[in-house]
Amino acid sequence: EEVTIVPSNSKAASPQRPSKPKVETDTACIPEKIKPSRAKKPAVACDWKAPAPSEYAEVHDTLIQSFGKPHIRTDGNSRSACGRKRSVLDAAVAIILSQNTSNINSSRALKSMNEAFPEGAAQIIAAPEEELEVAIRCGGLSKMKASRIHGLLRQISETRQGDLSLEYMRDLPTEQAKEELTAIKGLGPKSVACILAFTLDREDLAVDTHVHRVC
């Protein structure tokens, strides 16, 4: 009987698997946007034009007919942290509570803070930061937000010579009010837009998960 000896430094040839049949791609059946890169795409000129004012008005009227005219709150105090507030300072403090959390959590934190500090901003700034942190803990990120709120109140007090109020902004042009709010540490573009739109009744839009409609 013959015996085949394979050297230890050589590899035995493994059996070859049958190759899959090559499938030709019919690029005519593929949408233009996902055709293989080898398929040459014709140049497309962009002829888009901005809608005319009459077209904007038509969309506006269609929304009103479909959903009704939105109710604009002109007074009162919203329970939502990012909603309308009686004072601009209250809005600035509350909007910090709404950052990086849900509307439910921020509203709970606002309620808890108001119960712990019924006298408002003057009582908050006089208390240790840790007390504020405990009061707003239910809203999440309490350490960071307590620091921001205390810093905001200190900055306003220093800028306004001890006057903890931002009511003067109601008389400022929108761009100037936006500039001064943006200069306050802790208030970003979204927070500033919420204060302008909901509390100062300015034509500004907050790009935010809590804003459901533009009309």
Q: Which residues contact 125 (CB under 8 A, 6 or more apart)?
A: 150, 153, 154, 157, 164
The gap between the terminal CA atoms of the chain, to the nearest Å, is 94
The Cα 39–Cα 46 span in angstroms is 21
The Cα 27–Cα 89 span in angstroms is 62
The Cα 188–Cα 92 span in angstroms is 11
The Cα 51–Cα 198 span in angstroms is 28
Catalytic residue among 85, 145, 178, 190: 190
Residue keyed to tokens 């901003």 = 121
Identify whether 49 is a catalytic site residue. no
CA dihedral 209, 108, 92, 84 (to 10 degrees): 70
Active-site residues: which are they?
190
